[in-house]
Structure 1
Amino acid sequence: MDVTELLESASLLVPEEVATENDISVRDVWDYLAHDEWQIALSLLEELGDGHPLPLTFWEQLAEAAEQLGLERSAAWCRWRCSEIRNGMLRADLTLRPATEARRKTPISCHGVLRPMWDIGNLSSTGGASVSIARLWVEDMPVLEPGGRATVRLIPLTPTHWAHVKTGQQINMHEDRTVAGTAVVLEVHLPTPAMPTR
């Protein structure tokens, strides 16, 4: 499919009653598509998807359209949203330790590249702490400096490890044995386990 077909197909997955805080709806998207304003239409669809749960196909089509348009950041965000649907997502308020107190001396790239380990309260077979891996996306910032604080989105590598994590829980980020940062969980949206077949 070409960009127009992808964006049209994605827009058909947005319920007509859904609107952004600025009252942008799918009707506005169609107006931009009619005038070949693909980048604006893509941006509006992303915004509509951020405010309302939409299916995996929606985000896959937006990712492909963004790639065809050469919009790297949008493509990465849409692929990230696909991963959130597949593996679940947690939002948390993360504070990194200052560079004087931690191993990290450089900023974190905020767009889903880092895969730190997290102490979420799991224990190993010997009774020690067992860490779990989750990819990290920092919201609304290009980088997060050591000592900085931001809202982050986490995609668990193994969602079942995170099933017990609750809103309000404190979890620790590790890049080695030392604590690199501390986060308080704001939201938990893990995938629904598949129903057993008979």
Structure 2
Amino acid sequence: MDVPELLRQAAGELPAWLPRADLDEYLAVHEWELALDVLLDRGDDYPATTSFFRTLEDAAHRMKLERSAAWCAWRRREVLHGVIRAELRLVPGARRGPIPGAGQVRPLWDIGLVTPAGEPELAVALIWVEYAPDLPPGGAGSVRLAPLTAVRWHHLLPGDPITMYEQRPVAGTATITEAVFPAGPGRR
């Protein structure tokens, strides 16, 4: 299947009442990257399935848009496990290099869980930096988190503080801004 077919297939998975004129126009003039962007925006605005994001990921790979492909894979995971967004502030001096934006750093987080011995039970989550290619040392910004075990994070609510560790001491602090989890098996 070629790129325009993949994009049309993904568009077919969205609600029929959504306007398609802009998408059809982009496809007609071979503006596939713009068509992909339109579909990603619609997938963020309206409930989309894992199949929708998998199809867009395939199209992005074929266009050699690797960050877009990684974003599609990330969004597919969020459909299954939920969305966790936070405002993260890195502690100055805690790290030398920036946090790459596309889900490549997997630190430990204190999310309020406690071991039977009373110690913090840390949890692992990948970081996707929103609205920027990375988060500089000592910087702050919006992030999305992808926990390795999402169910352990289901107690979190907007406003909850969490703490990031890469080593000791603390590497960053964050405040949850959105935590939406699927109710059950849901859409696949």
1:73 aligns with 67
The answer for the alignment partner of 1:190 in structure 2 is 181
Preserved CA contact (<8 Å) 1:14 1:26:
no
Which structure 2 residues correspond to residues 1-198 of structure 1 after superposition, within 5 A? 1-18=1-18, 25-99=19-93, 102=94, 104-194=95-185
Contact 1:122 1:131 in 2 (8 A): yes
Question: Closer, same or farther in 2 for the Cα pair 1:194/1:61, shift >3 Å?
Answer: closer
Question: Contact 2:80–2:182 at 8 Å: present in 1 too?
Answer: yes
| 2:160–2:175 CA contact under 8 A, matched in 1 | yes
1:21 matched residue in structure 2: none
- Residue deviations 1:147-192, cap 9 Å, x none? 1110100111101111111111000011123211110100002233
Mapped to 2, the partners of 1:191 and 1:28 lie a distance apart of: 31
Structure 1 CA distance, aligned partners of 2:181 and 2:127? 15
- How far apart are residue 79 of structure 1 and its match? 0.9
In the alignment, structure 1 segments of 5+ residues that lack a partner are 19-24
Cα-to-partner distance string for 1:46-95 (whole Å, 9 max, x where unaligned): 12212222111111100000001111111111111111112222000110
Larger deviation: 178-187 or 8-17? 8-17
What is the root-mean-square deviation in Å for CA atoms of aligned residues?
1.5
Q: TM-score, normalised by structure 2?
A: 0.93
- The number of aligned residues is 186
Aligned-partner SS, 2:162: strand
Question: Which stretches of structure 1, 4 residues or longer, exceed 3 Å deviation after superposition?
Answer: none
3-state SS of paired residue (2:173)? strand
Over the matched positions of the two proteins, sequence identity in percent amounts to 44
Indicate how the Cα distance of structure 1 residues 62 and 145 shifts in structure 2: closer, same or farther if over 3 A, else same.
same
Alpha-carbon distance in structure 2 between the residues aligned to 1:126 and 1:146: 33
CA distance in 2, matches of 1:31, 1:56: 25
Equivalent residue of 2:104, what SS?
coil
1:22 is aligned to: none
* TM-score (norm. length: structure 1): 0.88
Where in structure 2 are there 5+ consecutive unaligned residues? Answer: none
